[in-house]
Structure 1
C-alpha cells in the first residue's frame, strides 16, 4: 500500500444523495397520501431525519456512524405502520415499507464507502 491516499471528497456519494431524496419523498408523501395526524407526523419526522442524516453524510463522508443512523432510521420507517398503528392505510403503509426498505439498503450500501473514506482521513495529517 502506498503512503499517499486519495482525498475524501464531500458531496459525491450516490448513496447519500439517494438517502436525501428518500427522506424528502417521505416528508412530502402526506401531500398525496391519505393520512391521519399521527401518520403525517411520523412520515415528516422520520423523513426529515433521513434527509438530514443523508446531508450530514454527504458533507462529512468519513463519518461512518452516519450510515448506521441511516440504517436505523430505515428500519424505524419500515416498522412504523405496525408501531404507529396505520397498517389499514394502504398508501401510507406501503410508502413506509418501500421508503424504509430502500433507506436501509442504501445505508448498508454506503457503509463500505464510508469506512474507506474514514480510513483515508485517518491517514491524512
Structure 2
C-alpha cells in the first residue's frame, strides 16, 4: 500500500486535530482540556505513523484504543456537563474508532503481503 494515501488515517488525523483545536471554542470543565489535547494529539501522531508506515496492524490497534479513550474521556474526565467538549470527544472519538476499524484489515493485508514476498 502506498504511503500517505489511506483515507482512514487521514480521517483519524483530522478527528484528532479537530479535537485538540476544539478546546479553543468549547466550554471546558474539569479534565476536558487535558483529555481533549492528549487524546487528540495522540490520534494525530498515531494517524501520521500509520500514514508513513501503512503495514503496521499493531499501530492500528493502538489507534483504536486511543479513539476509544477519547470516547470514554467525558466520563473519565468528568466533563459530560460541558456539552460542546463532551460531544466533540464522543463524535470525533467515534469517527476515529470506526475508520480505524475499517483500516485494520487493509493494514493486516499489507503486512501479510510484505512477509510473503520477503
| Coarse TM-score class (shorter-chain normalised) | over 0.9
- 1:37-85 superposed Cα distances (whole Å, 9 cap, x missing partner): 6211110110000010000000000000111111111111011111110
- Provide TM-score, normalisation by structure 1: 0.90
- For the pair 1:76 / 2:69, whether they are aligned, the reply is yes
Take 2:30 and 2:17, find their aligned partners in 1: how far apart are those partners?
A: 18
Partner Cα separation in structure 2 for residue 117 and residue 18 of structure 1: 19
Where 1:123 maps in the other structure, the secondary structure is: helix
Distance 1:83 1:37 in 2: 10
**RMSD of aligned C-alpha atoms?**
1.1
Superposition TM-score, scaled by structure 2 size: 0.95
Name structure 1 gaps, 5 residues minimum: 1-7
**Larger Rg: 1 or 2?**
1
Structure 2 unmatched runs, 5+: none
Whether 2:98 is the aligned partner of 1:105: answer yes
> Where in structure 1 do 4 or more consecutive aligned residues deviate above 6 Å?
none
More helix by share: 2
